Chains A and B, each alone.
Chain A
Amino acid sequence: MSAVAVSAGPRRGWRSASTWIGAVIVGLAMVCAVFAPLLVPHDPFLQDLGKRLLPPFWMQGSSPDHLLGTDQLGRDYLSRLIWGCRISMMIGVTVTVVSAVIGIAMGVLGGFLGGKVDDAVLFAITTRLSIPVVLVALAVVGLLGSSMTLLVITLGALLWDRFAVVARSTTMQVRNLDFVAAAWCAGCSRLRILAGEVLPNIASHLVVVATLEIALAILLEAALSFLGLGVPPPLPSWGLMIAEAKDYMFFSPWVIVIPGVALFVLVLGINLLGDGLRDLFGARSA
């Protein structure tokens, strides 16, 4: 899962264009997520069995009332899509916060203190990487019952590895720089140096990791919900929408195309923004 830093070349223009595309996609998704209750044209949970599987606007037989059609229970697809964006973003951000807290704490401590602590941190990272994420997440949700909170805690507890790796390596680089030595000489406490000198200087690297983790968490949530062990129905998670529509996909392919494209575009947008930020900060890690 390692990526190599892209050499900054004379393709600045293209790079910044792709960053902007990413920023616009993420911005739109955030607006949808925050204002979902105001934006939805219909109640995303309201079933209308008389209007099942209406096609979207570009197809014959569509209804102007339902721009993206309706699902197998007659629920408005556009409304469910917007609500699903809220769920994806919520999961993506909260999972990343949980994993960031765990990963950064471990990485910074290991990188800063070195020695036995660092050995323990490295061991934890190695162990974590050997655990099959999807399987363990499925097992936890399967055994304890599906709920948003459980899903966030489980994924957060599983996805901290990249934060730890990057926090550790960047802390090691910062630890030996002159301004840290100066802080030691000035008599600053360990905690003060960690919070005041180390963290601010590795923050840009961590922001880049955070974008990648949000994208990863969104994809994983969709996969888990698709397998029926993620977000509980009737919540319109995009993964769950695809799972529920699967039985109809051979006759009306758009029922899986629409949520899938939404998922793909959102993740692509987050990754584009993350790559752009990486270039901007000149970070070489993650």
Chain B
Amino acid sequence: MLQFLVRRLVVALLVTMTVMTLAFVLTRLSGDLAISIAGPNATQADVEAVRKAYGLDRPLVAQFFDWVTRAATGDLGESYFFKTRVSNLIAERMPVTVTLGLTGLVIALLVSLPLGILAAVRENTGFDRAVQVVALLGQAMPSFWLGLILMIVLGLQLGWLPISGTGSWQHYVMPGIVLAFSAIPALTRLTRAGMIQALGSDYIRTARAKGLSRASILLKHALRNAAIPVVAIAAVQLGFMLGGSIVIEQVFALHGVGFLAWESIGKNDFPVVQAVVLVLAVIYIALTMLADLMNAVLDPRLRG
């Protein structure tokens, strides 16, 4: 187990370093950063001043090592636009994104667990088919568009929920629903498949033979086994949701990390862009590692 853990950690570290490199290369793609930062009306002298001030006159390799060594200690540099530490900016915005992600995940689980279980129990009935259609519809739904439609219907016409902003918990309901849509198809299918497999196994037949109640068989025996992969995928889905929330944050004007990144791209604020890429990647890496560990703890065969 320890060996598994160590190997997993080493891979995670290597992936993080690769992402750091990619994030650095990404922000240098446009060529001369100083010209972009100084703006279209800058003179040659301005550009030179910017180049010096931001340390962009140093060799690329030196800049790269600077970024990596500082990032390793949690120092993500300073924002060109906000003139504050990038780590503070991200820490300030992170609660909004995490709240949104968790709301989305909870809604997704609340929908897909019951749907998946019922579809499995009634395999190959009209209900099962209907659930699969719902999953297909969810997969095809453009999230930003669903957000706008909900704003029109729930926000404007019915007046149930606020349209944008972050004032209260109600503000997270609509974006949460939209974000949940992206995870519901995968989670529902996985729950259904896991439950079908569990319900067909010997220990369920034993439980039936013992005369246990239907609810007890379903929830205590079958679901517990079917839930392992679902919980693992839910962790990975949360990672995807946090990375993908950039679109939804923009639609609902939620000032989270995704919104920050979107603003910063528009302002050529490179330190923020590369830091957000890195932070989102690290969160995803941590979540997948968590999922792997959960699987390994619960299923020793996977530790090999």
> Which of A's residues lie within 8 Å of B, judged by CB?
1-4, 6-7, 9-11, 14, 123, 126-127, 129-136, 138-140, 142-144, 215, 219, 222-223, 226-227, 229, 239, 242, 246, 249-250, 253, 256-257, 260, 263-265, 267-268, 271-272, 275
Is the beta-carbon distance between B266 and A131 smaller than 8 angstroms? Answer: no
Residues of B within 8 Å of A272, CB to CB, are 136
Whether B177 is near chain A, meaning CB under 8 Å from some CB there, is no
Q: Which partner residue on chain A sits nearest B33 by CB separation?
A: A143
**Chain B binding surface, main DSSP class:** helix
- Which chain B positions have C-beta within 8 A of A131? 19, 22, 277, 281
Are the CB atoms of A223 and B140 closer together than 8 Å? Answer: no
- Is B123 an interface residue when CB atoms closer than 8 A count as contact? yes
Is B170 engaged at the interface, CB distance under 8 Å to the other chain?
A: no
Chain B: which residue is nearest A257 at the CB level? B149
Q: If A130-B288, A135-B277, A250-B152 touch, does A144 touch B250 (CB 8 Å cutoff)?
A: no
A267 and B142 contact, Cβ closer than 8 Å, known pairs A2-B186, A135-B258, A135-B261: yes
What is the total number of residues of chain B having a CB less than 8 Å from a CB of chain A?
58
Nearest-neighbor residue (CB-CB) of B28 within chain A: A143
* B141: Cβ under 8 A from any A Cβ: yes
12 pairs from A and B in contact (CB 8 Å cutoff): A2-B190, A7-B193, A7-B196, A123-B11, A126-B15, A127-B18, A135-B243, A136-B26, A143-B29, A239-B142, A256-B145, A256-B148
The 4 residue pairs across chains A and B that have the minimum distance between CB atoms: A132-B243, A268-B140, A142-B265, A4-B193
The one of A3, A136, A264, A271 that contacts B145, using a Cβ cutoff of 8 Å? A264
> Do B141 and A264 have beta carbons less than 8 Å apart?
yes
Distance in Å: Cβ of B246 to nearest Cβ of chain A: 5
Q: Which residues of A contact B11 (CB under 8 A)?
A: 123, 126
The answer to whether the Cβ of B137 comes within 8 Å of any Cβ in the partner chain is yes
B148 touches A246 (CB 8 A): yes
B145 touches A130 (CB 8 A): no
Interface flags, B24-40, vs A, CB<8A=1, else 0: 00110110000010000
Instruction: List the A side residues contacting B27 at CB < 8 Å.
Output: 139, 143
Check: B127 CB closer than 8 A to any chain A CB. no
Please name all residues of chain B whose beta carbon is closer than 8 Å to the beta carbon of A229 when the two chains form the complex.
Answer: 265
